Every structure is written in C-alpha cells, then in structure tokens.
Amino acid sequence: MQELLIGSLGTHILTFVSKYPWQVFAVVLVTTLILVELFRKNRSGTTADLDIGGFDFGGGDGGD
C-alpha cells in the first residue's frame, strides 16, 4: 500500500506526517490560504476602509 504513494518517497513522507501531524497541517493550511488569496478573482473586496493586499488601512477621513 505504501509503495503506491510516490514509490519509496511515500514512506518517508508518511513517516514525517505521522511524526509531526500538526506542523504539516499548519503548513498545508497556510499554503492554501495564501494561494486562495493570490488567485482570488475579485480583488477589490467589499470593505472600503481596509485593504490588506494594498496595505491601505486608512479610515477615509483625509488625515496625513
């Protein structure tokens, strides 16, 4: 069964995942969130005061 996963590399991957499951989960989650943010179609969003991608955190009051 383990040989079906990318040959002998699958055994090493399976060992690593079973040794550090939460770290692997965190890496997969963060990578997925970054990719979703990068490939999102509507980048304008619905918020007027907070634009995370463009680093515009202004409140729209015309301050310095």
Q: What is the pLDDT of residues 2-60, one digit of tens each?
A: 456 567 787 888 899 999 999 999 999 999 999 998 888 766 555 455 555 666 555 55
Q: What pTM was computed for the model?
A: 0.51
Predicted pLDDT of residue 50: 53
Domain boundaries, the chain: 2-37
pLDDT, position 60: 58
Residue 63, pLDDT score: 54
Handedness of CA 54, 58, 61, 62 (dihedral sign): negative
Enter the DSSP assignment of 7: T
From the CB of residue 44, how many other CB atoms can be counted at a distance below 10 Å? Answer: 9
**Partners of 51 in the β-ladder:** 56
Report the pLDDT value the prediction gives residue 13, as an integer from 0 to 100: 85
Residue 20, by phi and psi: left (phi above 0), alpha (psi -120 to 50) or beta?
A: beta
